[in-house]
Amino acid sequence: MTRRILGGLLVILAVVAGVVVAVVLFHKSASTNVTTNPYEYNIEDFRDVPAGLLKYAETGKITSELKGIHGIAVDARDCIYVVGGPAVAIYDKAGQPIGRFALEEPGLCLAVGGQGTIYVGMTNHVEVFERTGARTAKWESLGEKAWITSIAVSSNQVFVADYGSRSMWRFADTGTLLGQIDGKGEGSDAAGFVLPSAYFDLAADADGSVWIANPGQQRVECYGADGRRLSLWGKPAMTIDGFCGCCNPTHLALMPDGKFVTSEKGIPRVKVYERDGRLESVVAGPDQFTRDALGLDVAVDSSGRVLVLDPVAGGVRIFERKK
């Protein structure tokens, strides 16, 4: 009996010793892997911008008195409009305040037509104002699920991006609803507009078409006034020429020469693309924003200045092409 007990104790001691050795080796291995893991995901590697691509410099800033700023627009005279909370603020080209008017509820986005008409997107409908702040129209609601995120004006049409319905709505400038575009096609395009978060932006082109950011597909798509998709460009990539993360670009605008300006979150950056989708330059890189920067709505004035709404910084940042 004594020999059996002694044998059992030896077996138990051997097992315990083996466990101790395994634990020590595991912790040593884990400690080594923390510092030398070649497969570690490091987003810092993608934050750098090649110096040759950074062709813009920040030349000014408008500090907005509005709280919770959401959208920016520019009119034909290069006046700058910002919507935030229940108000719209207006600035001249130099950034000096020249007007302000109150809204009955918080505005989420805005656009300015060629005649100076101001279209403001509320949560589920559009309201129309004169520059004095006088409201001239309140359009019909797009429904309980509606969440308007962007407005663009082209000749006699107004395009409204609705995150809630994953659709774009077409209106006559009188407020008459003309149609709905959901971006759905066949095969790989059946998903339509893929919107993991509430970023869904659009920009009207001079020919009457409209460009829409489809962030979940990491691309930009063009639609005719009749709702047909005409073209698309963009690719998912962590490198500077693509759109990173799950859902970018978040915002876009068209330049006077037809090039595109886009902004991204995650790795916050603002870039310029050629008409065919080739990266042309970088306006601002990640090091020029706070790490939690998002909601970087963009607009471009007639001289090509890029205006970036920076909600974290509380204003509009102005970038110009380097000489």
Percentage of the chain beyond pLDDT 70 is 85
For residues 193 and 166, is the Cβ–Cβ distance under 8 A? yes
Question: Is the link from the previous residue into 97 a cis peptide, with omega within 30 of 0?
Answer: no
Q: What is the CATH number of the domain that holds 207?
A: 2.120.10.30
> Which pLDDT value is given to residue 286?
95
Residue scoring higher pLDDT (318 or 187): 318
> Could you tell me if residue 16 is inside a domain?
no
User: At residue 306, does pLDDT exceed 70?
Assistant: yes
Alpha helices for 186-295 (secondary structure H): none
Position 34 in a domain: no
Q: Which of the four pLDDT bands, split at 50, 70 and 90, describes residue 103?
A: very high
Residue 315 lies in a domain: yes
> Tens digit of pLDDT for each residue in 20-66?
334 334 344 444 444 445 444 456 667 888 989 999 999 999 999 99
Q: Walk across the sheet containing 157-162 and list its strands.
A: 148-154, 157-162, 167-172, 177-181
Could you tell me if 169 and 177 are in contact, meaning their C-beta atoms sit under 8 angstroms apart? yes
pLDDT for the residue 9: 40
Residue-wise pLDDT tens digits, 126-141? 999 999 999 999 999 9
The predicted model scores a pTM of 0.86
19, part of any domain: no
User: Where residue 185 falls among pLDDT bands split at 50, 70, 90?
Assistant: confident
20 domain residue, yes or no: no
Extract long-range pairs of 36-44: CB within 8 Å, 24+ residues apart.
Answer: 43/238, 43/266, 43/267
pLDDT value, residue 27: 43
User: Positive or negative, the Cα torsion across 105, 250, 272, 233?
Assistant: negative
- Where are the alpha helices (H) located in the chain, listed in sequence order? 2-36
11 assigned to some structural domain: no
Distances (CA, A) of 308 to 183, 202, 295: 27, 15, 10
- The confidence score (pLDDT) of residue 14 equals 44
Tally the domains of the chain: 1
Residue 29 lies in a domain: no
Residues written for the chain: 323
Identify whether 271 is part of a domain.
Answer: yes
Structural domain boundaries, residue 218: 48-321
